[in-house]
Amino acid sequence: METRRRAETQHKLFRATLEVAVERGLAGVSTHRVAAAAGLTTGAIYRNFEGRDHLIREAMSYYQRHVSDLDVADATSLGEWAHGYLDAYLDMIVSRDEQLQLILSLQRQLLMLRETDSAVRDVVDHWQESRLTSLEQRIDELASLSGERLTVSPRLLGQQMMILSVGFSLMAEQFEDVIPREVAHAAVDALLATSCAPVGQGDVQDALDVQDDGRPQGRAE
């Protein structure tokens, strides 16, 4: 019972942190404002967190767990995963779920503030690095599973996917959440075309480089 009550309190505080951050910016997040938004006392915050900064970090981790739902667990190729990843992101953009909209709104705000606020930069960089590491591992896993040959590093492809998804998020804010899926899929296809070699590409050249007796061709002197 105590564990459940604690989890419910933290959920309220995380949501309130998002609400205050969206309304007032990260600099406007204070323990008093978060407690008031959550309908709790500041004592509830200090019983669960070390203070304001710890609360913000944990709220961002909470946000990250929601974003991790974008992963396409049943994907068996990079193309399938990339299209599914972006579709999930676009679904989140047009979702009527209030909490998801708070998360997206905070993400947009943090990205805009990152260049001018060092505190925001630290929070955003920590989250992006954690997310990027997760994407890098997933891309590497799928490339090995499908036999696809990356022409860029898994990390770079992960960075490009993050930039693409955030770009569509910012576009959605400007164009009232209307983003044609075919536009998004064309962007993914263009990215993959420059990042992956078709399955089997290189095998023919490998064969040409081997003599009939199985030895590699030597260079002409």
CATH superfamily of 2-59: Homeodomain-like (1.10.10.60)
Residue 18, pLDDT score: 83
115 has a pLDDT exceeding 60: yes
One-character DSSP codes across the chain: -HHHHHHHHHHHHHHHHHHHHHHH-GGG--HHHHHHHHTS-HHHHHHHSSSHHHHHHHHHHHHHHHHGGG--TT--SHHHHHHHHHHHHHHHHH---HHHHHHHHHHHHHHHHTTT-HHHHHHHHHHHHHHHHHHHHHHHHHHHHHT-EESS-HHHHHHHHHHHHHHHHHHHHHTTT---HHHHHHHHHHHHHHHEEPTTTTHHHHHHTB-TTSPBPPPP-
Residue 216: left if φ>0, alpha if ψ -120 to 50, beta else—which one?
Answer: beta
pLDDT category at 199 given cuts 50, 70, 90 is low
Single-letter code of the amino acid located at 107: Q
User: How many CB atoms are located within 10 Å of the residue 192 CB?
Assistant: 19
Q: Which residues of 169-182 are buried (b: 16+ CB within 10 A; e: fewer)?
A: beebeeeeeebeee
Q: What percent of the chain has pLDDT over 90?
A: 33
pTM of the model: 0.68
The residue with greater pLDDT, 8 or 179, is 8
Q: Is the pLDDT of residue 206 over 60?
A: no
Q: Which two tokens stand for residue 154?
A: 């898994």
pLDDT at 94 over 80: no
Phi, psi of 153 (to 5 degrees): -75, 150
In the chain, CATH 1.10.10.60 sits at: 2-59
Check pLDDT > 50 for residue 208: no
Greater pLDDT, 79 or 53: 79
pLDDT at 178: 63
Encode pLDDT of 27-74 as tens digits. 788 999 999 999 999 999 999 999 998 888 888 777 766 665 667 888
